[in-house]
Amino acid sequence: MTRAQRADHLRAGPVALVAAGGAAGTALRAAIGLVVHPVGGFPLAIFGINLVGAFVLGLLLQALTARGPDTGRRRTLRLLVGTGVLGGFTTYSALSSDSAVLLTSGGVALALAYGLATVLLGAVASWGGIALGAAVGSPEGRDRMPVDSDSSGDPQ
């Protein structure tokens, strides 16, 4: 497996996977932004997107880890769906920029509530996703999953 000598972020394939997933995740975020509007200045779309994305990423990463080493198809899924789709779907710059706009336009309480609720409920959502991922991805039996060619060198 000579191509593993170069790190993923320096190889065209993995970078393309992340880019494709990131474009899909961004499209989904933009589409939701078109139909879900702020309520009383509260950025409801990004708030919901970030919480859902945090939950699904926790679920995905924990389920993948429980199913085996980060190689082959699991690695492809992690890069495409985790780093790409969910990374592009969720966003931090809109959270901080919207908070900054609220702060400077007199909505200090709303800005604080928005930021703190996102970070605190986001951690709860991540934790919930991880817990669910651990429950559905119990290690017993998963090790005997068909192993694809990329991970043939791993002790299973």
Partner 1 sequence: MTPLLFVAVAAAGGVGAALRFVVDGVVRARIRSSYPVGVTIINVTGSFLLGLLTGLALAQLVSEQWLLVLGTGLLGGYTTFSTASFETVRLLQLRRPGAALANGLGMLAASVAVATLGLWLGTLAG
Binding residue for partner 1 (CB under 8 A) from 1, 101, 108, 135? Answer: 101
Q: Residue 69: CA atoms inside 13 Å, Cβ hemisphere, count?
A: 11
Known binding-site positions? 87, 90
Rule CB under 8 A: say whether 111 interacts with partner 1: yes
The piece of 67-75, 95-103, 137-145, 147-155 that touches partner 1 (CB under 8 A) is 95-103
Cβ atoms of 116 and 95 within 8 Å: the answer is no
Cα dist from 99 to 25, 34, 41, 95, whole Å: 22, 19, 10, 6
Residue for token pair 């991970």: 151
Rule CB under 8 A: say whether 71 interacts with partner 1: no
- Segment 16-35, which members bind partner 1 (CB under 8 A)? 16, 18-27, 29-31, 33-34
Rule CB under 8 A: say whether 119 interacts with partner 1: yes
